[in-house]
Amino acid sequence: MKYEVVIGLEVHAQLKTQSKIFCSCPTEFGRPANESTCPICLGMPGVLPVLNKTALQLAMQACLATHCSISPRNRFDRKNYFYPDLPKGYQVSQFEFPLGLNGYVNIQVNGTKKKIGLTRIHMEEDAGKLIHGENLGNPGKSYVDFNRTGVPLVEIVSEPDLRSAEEAREYLTQLKAILDYAEVSDCNMEEGSLRCDANVSLRPEGQKEFGTRTETKNLNSFRFVQKAIEYEIERQTQVLEQGDKVVQETRLYDSNKGVTFSMRSKEEAHDYRYFPEPDLVPVVIDDEWIQETQDKLPELPEQKRERFALDYEIPEYDAGVLTTSRAMADYYEKSVSLYPKPKIVSNWIMGELLRELKNDEREIDECSVKPEGLTDLLKLIDEGTINAKMAKTVFEDMYHSGKSAKDIIKEKGMTQITDSSAIENLVDQILQANADQVEQYKNGKEKVFGFLVGQIMKESKGQANPALVNKLLKERIG
């Protein structure tokens, strides 16, 4: 039996505010445990929450940037459950009247474009964090840090429109880019600013009804999302193939073992007893405010991608990679303004620069080579000071040492040999040492030419100007 995969994602993004959603405690990451707390976010009796206007503003930006319509009347609801990281015994969220409805995100996988529907976007507060003593050399004890309680979030719920782990990853990539561009969230996955729950089900190909889904919670990297989904597809296929039924349940992903495991089944699922939050007034959002927010939205990834492809005449693929984050797009545009050869700049960023960043697991704004440094290097190639191959070595050095291209070239005496007589000497030397090959070349074995060029370049320690080597060699034996 062939099965079709059906996936819907729920994404939590932390809104980029200075203070929490209902009190003035700071949201700054990494502060000592429980220092960013007050009676409000600790859920003391008798306190009154007040909505942070910036949080609402950012949530509206998230809605508009994903083409959601904004509900004019917004209400918060209490979602009741007990957990040690939830001091109030309920989470303030939005249930019946979410802020945004019916949006979409466009994705592209293997050249095919697809629209992924968004069911809704709602605002809510985050819970705290449990720290288990095992990790502190204190087994058997658990601690709780309330710094995160009351940190503002949006939850973005997609329609079950995704059909593969790859599409899910692409959707997340696009969504993250949109939230980054619209300045809604810093989307830092290591710090928990972006987390994802993946709902996965299978159905026999051709069947209309959806199959039973599982929900794998709290995935905090793109790779884990993809791996967890792939694992679930595998697991559910086996279950169905054995004639069993998939159990609707919440699962967790163990990134060390690369498997998902059951956390709770549907029977144990919570009844949250939602009811309207009585301590907060409903918020009315008028058209003027919506329009103002819409007008202030910056250029979004999709528009930027199209503009890059058109204006810089680079392939769509390049434009896609270069616009995955605003910082990268800015880096690219700055570089092209300093060195107006768009495709060459694109090649260097996508090749050398991204490779180094990937190795280091760093973002482009943490890179010590700035657009000025990169384009200075490219100019040195054009001026003939170094060749492209040497430039790659210089770049690596620049990336790791933070030094300028000029300094590195000077220190290492790396200048390119462009003096014809010096190269002629090298050519002679190699021709003498390879008389057999020269004979073969003269008898029509053309491949030997490349071999001889290689030998000359090697003899020059990569410093000879390749175009000149080719030219002079051709003159001698061509």
Q: Within 323-465, where are the H helices?
A: 326-338, 342-348, 354-360, 371-382, 388-401, 405-412, 420-433, 435-442, 447-459
Q: Which entry of ligand ADP, Mg ion, Zn ion, none binds 239, CB below 5 to 8 A by partner kind? A: none
Q: Which entry of Zn ion, ligand ADP, Mg ion, none binds 38, CB below 5 to 8 A by partner kind? A: Zn ion
Piece of 36-44, 129-137, 296-304, 374-382 that binds Zn ion (CB under 5 A):
36-44
If one asks whether residue 283 binds Zn ion (CB under 5 A), the answer comes out as no
Q: Which entry of ligand ADP, Mg ion, Zn ion, none binds 277, CB below 5 to 8 A by partner kind? A: none
Question: Of 8-27, which residues contact Mg ion (CB under 5 A)?
Answer: 10
3-state secondary structure of 361: coil
Binding residue for ligand ADP (CB under 6 A) from 160, 192, 462, 466? 160
Complex with ligand ADP: residue 120 or 304, whichever CB lies closer: 120
251 φ, ψ to 5°?
-125, 165
Pairing of strands 214-219, 142-145: unpaired
Binding residue for ligand ADP (CB under 6 A) from 169, 195, 213, 403? 213
What percent of the residues of the chain are helix, what percent strand, and what percent coil, each to the nearest 5? 45, 20, 35
Alpha carbon of 160 to those of 200, 237, 425: distances in Å?
Answer: 9, 18, 69
Measured distance CA(49)–CA(47) in Å, rounded: 7
- Least distance in angstroms from the C-beta of 214 to ligand ADP: 9
Piece of 7-15, 91-99, 335-343, 390-398 that binds Mg ion (CB under 5 A):
7-15
Binding residue for ligand ADP (CB under 6 A) from 215, 232, 318, 352? 215
Size of the site for ligand ADP (CB under 6 A): 15
Q: Within 52-209, where are the H helices?
A: 53-65, 165-181
If one asks whether residue 158 binds ligand ADP (CB under 6 A), the answer comes out as yes
Complex with ligand ADP: residue 5 or 58, whichever CB lies closer: 5
If one asks whether residue 47 binds Zn ion (CB under 5 A), the answer comes out as no
The two structure tokens encoding residue 244? 């069993």
Q: Within 15-71, where are the H helices?
A: 53-65
If one asks whether residue 25 binds Zn ion (CB under 5 A), the answer comes out as yes
Measured distance CA(246)–CA(269) in Å, rounded: 16
Measured distance CA(277)–CA(442) in Å, rounded: 89
Size of the site for Mg ion (CB under 5 A): 1
Pairing of strands 249-254, 214-219: parallel
Q: Which entry of Zn ion, Mg ion, ligand ADP, none binds 259, CB below 5 to 8 A by partner kind? A: none
Q: Within 255-353, where are the H helices?
A: 287-296, 301-311, 316-322, 326-338, 342-348
Complex with Zn ion: residue 40 or 246, whichever CB lies closer: 40
Question: Of 34-53, which residues contact Mg ion (CB under 5 A)?
Answer: none
If one asks whether residue 41 binds Zn ion (CB under 5 A), the answer comes out as yes
If one asks whether residue 216 binds ligand ADP (CB under 6 A), the answer comes out as no
346 and 314 in contact (C-beta within 8 Å)?
yes
Q: Which entry of Mg ion, Zn ion, ligand ADP, none binds 7, CB below 5 to 8 A by partner kind? A: ligand ADP
If one asks whether residue 318 binds ligand ADP (CB under 6 A), the answer comes out as no
If one asks whether residue 333 binds ligand ADP (CB under 6 A), the answer comes out as no
Complex with ligand ADP: residue 155 or 397, whichever CB lies closer: 155
List of residues contacting Mg ion (CB under 5 A): 10
List of residues contacting ligand ADP (CB under 6 A): 6-10, 157-160, 199-201, 210, 213, 215
